[in-house]
Structure 1
Amino acid sequence: MTYACTAIDSDGFILESHYNTIPSLFPSALRSEVFALLHELDSLPQNAKITVTTDCALLLSLWSLYVEAPFIPRMLNESNHLLWSSLRYLVSQKNLDVTLIKVPAHADDALNNHVDALAKAAHTDSSLSFQLLSEPIAPCILQFNSLSVDMNIRKFIRDIFDAKSLLTLVILPRFNSNSSIFDIDWACTKFCLSNNKQIFSHRNGRSAFCAFRIKLLLDMLPTLTTLQRRRPHLYDPSWLCPQCNSFPETLDHLWTCPYILPDFSLFNTFKTLLLDLRSKYLDNLLSATPLISLPDSFVDEFTAIDCWKCDPPSISCLRLARELIPMSLTGFLRTYFSPSTIWSILDTPLYNFHFDLYVQIWLCRSIFFHHWELAQGITNKVKSSAFGPSPISHPSSINSPDSSAPSLATVSLDSWVSWVYSYIIRGGSWISHLDFWRRLTVQPLLRISFE
Structure 2
Amino acid sequence: MTDSRPKSPQKIDNTTTVDTSMEEVANTSSTHDLSHSEIDVTSRDSQEKDPLKSSTPCSSDVSNISVPHLPLNNVTDYIDTALICHPSIKIELKNCANLLCSEEILTFYTDGSVQNIGTTHSLSGYGWIQTQPLTPRISFKGSTVFFPSSSKSESMGILTALLVAPFNCRINIYTDSANCITTFNTRMHLGIVSPHQKLKQSNFLLWDLIFLLINQKNLLVTLHKVPGHSNNLYNDEADTLAKAGAHIREPIIINHKFFAHQSLGFASWNRLHVIDRNVRKWADNVIQPLIFNSMINNKALTPIKKQILDGEIDWTFTKEWLNHNNSDALCSINLSKQQGNKIKKCNFIYPTIDIQQRNYPHLYPLGSIPCIQCSDAHDVNAHVGLCNDHSNDVVTILMEAAYDLYDIIIDNYSGTPFALRETIESSPLFNITFSGALSQTHPGYLLIHHLVPSDLTTIFYNYIKDKKLRFSIFIKFFKTLMRKVDSYIWVKRYSLIKSWERILSITKNKK
192 and 145 in structure 1: CA distance in 2 versus 1, 3 angstrom threshold: farther
- TM normalised by structure 1 equals 0.60
237 and 181 in structure 1: CA distance in 2 versus 1, 3 angstrom threshold: farther
Does residue 59 of structure 1 match 2:187? no
- Give 1:217's aligned residue: 346
The CA deviation string for residues 200-259 of structure 1, in whole angstroms up to 9 with x for no partner, is 36839555443322211111111111111222222123344455666432235444556x
- Give 1:320's aligned residue: 447
Letter in 1 for 2:361: P
Preserved CA contact (<8 Å) 1:275 1:308? no
2:142 to 21, 36, 46: 21
Q: What secondary structure sits across from 2:139 in the alignment?
A: strand
Letter in 1 for 2:498: H
- For residues 351 and 232 of structure 1, what CA distance do their matches in structure 2 show? 36
- Give 2:507's aligned residue: 379
- Give 2:378's aligned residue: 248
Q: What secondary structure sits across from 1:102 in the alignment?
A: strand
- Give 1:229's aligned residue: 358
Quote the RMSD (CA, aligned, Å). 4.8
The CA deviation string for residues 140-181 of structure 1, in whole angstroms up to 9 with x for no partner, is 352379565332223212332344334433442333347623
Q: What secondary structure sits across from 1:20 in the alignment?
A: strand
Letter in 1 for 2:343: I
- For residues 5 and 63 of structure 1, what CA distance do their matches in structure 2 show? 25
- The runs of 5 or more residues in structure 1 that have no matched partner are 108-112, 259-264, 384-451
Does residue 154 of structure 1 match 2:280? yes
Preserved CA contact (<8 Å) 2:203 2:277? yes
Q: What secondary structure sits across from 2:314 in the alignment?
A: helix
2:205 to 55, 79, 82: 82
Q: What secondary structure sits across from 2:363 in the alignment?
A: coil
- Give 1:269's aligned residue: 393
147 and 172 in structure 1: CA distance in 2 versus 1, 3 angstrom threshold: farther
* The 10-residue stretch of structure 1 (310-319 or 273-282) with the greater mean CA deviation from structure 2: 273-282
Alpha-carbon distance, 1:302 to partner:
4.4
Letter in 2 for 1:75: K
Does residue 358 of structure 1 match 2:494? no
Structure possessing the higher relative contact order (Cα contacts under 8 Å, 6 or more residues apart): 1
60 and 351 in structure 1: CA distance in 2 versus 1, 3 angstrom threshold: closer
Preserved CA contact (<8 Å) 1:201 1:210? no
The CA deviation string for residues 247-281 of structure 1, in whole angstroms up to 9 with x for no partner, is 432235444556xxxxxx65543443244334545
- For residues 312 and 270 of structure 1, what CA distance do their matches in structure 2 show? 9
375 and 133 in structure 1: CA distance in 2 versus 1, 3 angstrom threshold: closer
1:122 to 236, 241, 245: 241
Equivalent residues in 2 for 1:110-189, closer than 5 Å = 116=235, 118-123=237-242, 125=244, 129=248, 131-132=251-252, 135-137=255-257, 139-140=265-266, 142-143=268-269, 149-177=275-303, 180-182=306-308, 185-186=311-312, 188-189=314-315
2:316 to 167, 171, 190: 190
Alpha-carbon distance, 1:315 to partner:
0.7
Alpha-carbon distance, 1:196 to partner:
6.8
- Give 1:3's aligned residue: 127
- For residues 365 and 128 of structure 1, what CA distance do their matches in structure 2 show? 59
- For residues 208 and 417 of structure 2, what CA distance do their matches in structure 1 show? 40
- For residues 124 and 360 of structure 1, what CA distance do their matches in structure 2 show? 54
Once the two structures are aligned, what percentage of the paired residues are identical?
Answer: 15
189 and 132 in structure 1: CA distance in 2 versus 1, 3 angstrom threshold: closer
Alpha-carbon distance, 1:90 to partner:
6.8
Equivalent residues in 2 for 1:426-441, closer than 5 Å = none
Alpha-carbon distance, 1:310 to partner:
5.8
The CA deviation string for residues 303-338 of structure 1, in whole angstroms up to 9 with x for no partner, is 7976763622201243332134556x469x78x983
- Give 1:37's aligned residue: 159
- Give 2:220's aligned residue: 100
206 and 356 in structure 1: CA distance in 2 versus 1, 3 angstrom threshold: farther
